[in-house]
Amino acid sequence: MVRAIYPGSFDPLTLGHLDIAVRASKLFDEVIVAVYDAPPKRLLFETEERMALWREALPPGVTNVSVVPYKGLTVDLAHQFDASVLVRGLRALSDFEYELEMNLTNRRMAPDIESVFLMSSHEYLYLSSTRIKEVWGLGHKLADMVPANVNRALTERLQQTDRG
């Protein structure tokens, strides 16, 4: 059985993230979406909210994907779950450079864990959580960029921000 970890902050979850997870679910026996609990950046959603958004967004037929929180090194999490693969999505050359450095570091710490890179589907090449937050902050509609439940959560969060 091949178990894979798909790590990230996913703040917010985009259609590109969801696409990578669904595609990975067809390649591996089990995919664990690992929602990073303490990234070094300002978060829009708490960890539990991001996990709940993931669980709700997964298509009903995708039964081999689970969602967990984590802190610390991704390779330690992989060892904890006896996962042999890290799944990462690539959009552009800048992603490749970052992921290459991360992969080399991970392989140094855990040579038993392979990284598998999935190219973003064409329609999601431009999507990133950072870009989504920028567009959202300026009040633009996001329905074609994020799952419907994430769009609702973002709309509610924007209304809370406007009120408060």
Catalytic residues: 17, 41, 91, 129
What pLDDT does 95 receive? Answer: 83
What pLDDT does 162 receive? Answer: 58
Write down all domains in the chain, each with its CATH number in brackets: 3-163 (3.40.50.620)
Phi–psi pair at 82, nearest 5 degrees? 55, 40
By CB neighbour count within 10 A (0-12 exposed, 13-18 middle, 19+ buried), where does 132 fall?
buried
Quick one: which of 11, 3, 23, 52 has its CA closest to 119? 23
| Tens of pLDDT, residues 83-131 | 999 999 998 777 888 899 999 999 999 999 999 999 999 999 888 998 8
Q: Is residue 152 classed as helix, strand or coil in its secondary structure? A: helix
Local confidence band at 160 (pLDDT 50, 70, 90 cut-offs)? confident
What pLDDT does 161 receive? Answer: 64
| Tens of pLDDT, residues 48-82 | 999 999 999 999 999 999 999 999 999 999 999 99
DSSP codes joined into one string, 103-138: HHHHHHH-TT-EEEEEEPPGGGTT--HHHHHHHHHT
Q: Contact 146/132 with Cβ under 8 angstroms?
A: yes
Q: Is residue 44 classed as helix, strand or coil in its secondary structure? A: coil
By CB neighbour count within 10 A (0-12 exposed, 13-18 middle, 19+ buried), where does 142 fall?
buried
Task: Return all residues near 58 (Cβ < 8 A) that are at least 6 apart.
Answer: 18, 21, 22, 65
CA–CA separation, 121 and 142 (whole Å): 18
What pLDDT does 140 receive? Answer: 83
CA–CA separation, 133 and 152 (whole Å): 14
Between the alpha carbon of residue 79 and those of residues 16, 64, 159, the distances in Å are 26, 19, 41
